[in-house]
Amino acid sequence: MPKPNPKAVRRKILIFLYENFLTDPLQMLTPTDFTDNEVCSITELIPNIHYLHERNYIELMLGYNPPLFAATRISNAGVDLYEDPVEFDRLFPPGVVASTAGTVDLVEIMLALVEQAEALTLSGKKQEWLINDIDFLRQELIQPDIHWRSDYILKRLQWLDVLLDKESPNGLPAYDSLKSILHDKLL
């Protein structure tokens, strides 16, 4: 069963909070409000509500049971975002319903790749280049795949190939997995 895409969950959360804001701008909603109204499950709610809080789209009262929160409501930045349909749809696309296995795999692989790259002991600027190239890929891959710039991704993979061939003869297992998935999608 596919996992809900985090962007789809965040979109539903913001819409629900905005609709409640229009009814009562001071009302704070609890986790139960989200589950009772079938916005999302608690396991989907917790990481996404914290993400939205870190981005300043919502206000959050933590209470005594972190990471579960006591109450939340949409912030001014969240209202402004929702009322700008172009930006709202860009950040939280309406057509995204679920993460495919490949999308979920990419997230997990990117996390593993960062850990493996940071564990390497490369000389001088090479470590910085490696981390920068991985960060570039991460920034590109967080976009919906229809917006991926395949020429940039493939060029970055070539640079990483050269660097890793010279500096890490055993390679990075996560990089090999990432490269395989991206080549299947882009070529």
How does pLDDT run across 63-77, given as a tens digit for each residue? 887 788 999 999 999
Mean pLDDT, rounded, for 49-63? 92
With beta carbons less than 8 A apart as the criterion, state whether 137 and 111 touch: no
The mean pLDDT value of the chain amounts to 84
Segment holding 42, helix H or strand E:
helix 42-54
Helix (H/G/I), strand (E/B), else coil: 5: coil
Q: What is the model's pLDDT at position 105?
A: 67
pTM: 0.55
87 or 120, which is more confident: 87
In this structure, what token pair is assigned to residue 137?
Answer: 């890929």
Flag the least confident range among 29-33, 107-111, 151-155.
107-111
In this structure, what token pair is assigned to residue 178?
Answer: 């990432």
Confidence of residue 103 (pLDDT cuts 50, 70, 90): low
With beta carbons less than 8 A apart as the criterion, state whether 124 and 163 touch: no
Q: What is the model's pLDDT at position 101?
A: 47
